[in-house]
Amino acid sequence: MQKKNILITGVSSGIGYSIAETMIQNGYFVFGTVRKVEDAESLKMKLGNGFYPLIVDITDYKSIECAVEVVKDVISENGLTALINNSGIVVSGPLKHINSNDFEYQFRVNVFGLLKMTQALLPLLGGDLSTNIKAGKIININSVSGLLTLPFIVPYSASKYAVESLTDGLRRELAIYGISVTSIHPGAVKTPIWQKEKDKINSFHDTDYEMFEAYSKHQIALAEKDGIDALVIAKTVNDIVEGRKRKPGYILMKHDFAFRIMLMLPKTLQDNIVMKMMYAKTKISLSDELKRGWFIVSNIIPPIGFYLYFRHRKQYPNKAQSALKGAIIGIPVGIVMKYIFDNFIFS
Report, as residue numbers or ranges, the catalytic residues: 156
The sign of the CA dihedral 307, 310, 311, 315 is positive
Burial of 75 (0-12, 13-18, 19+ CB in 10 A): buried
- Is the separation of the CB atoms in 305 and 323 below 8 Å? yes
The CA radius of gyration of the chain, in Å to the nearest whole number, is 24
Q: Which helix (H) or strand (E) holds 137?
A: strand 137-141
Q: Which residues pair with 183 in a beta bridge?
A: 140, 249
CA distance 166 to 143: 14
CA distance 160 to 99: 19
CA distance 133 to 128: 9
SS3 2: coil
Rounded alpha-carbon distances, angstroms, from residue 305 to 290, 299, 322, 336: 22, 11, 8, 19
Closest C-alpha among 136, 137, 134 to residue 77: 134
CB atoms within 10 A of CB 61: 15
Q: Which helix (H) or strand (E) holds 7?
A: strand 5-8
Q: Which residues pair with 182 in a beta bridge?
A: 139
SS3 309: helix
CB atoms within 10 A of CB 254: 16
At residue 36, φ and ψ (nearest 5 deg) are -115, 140
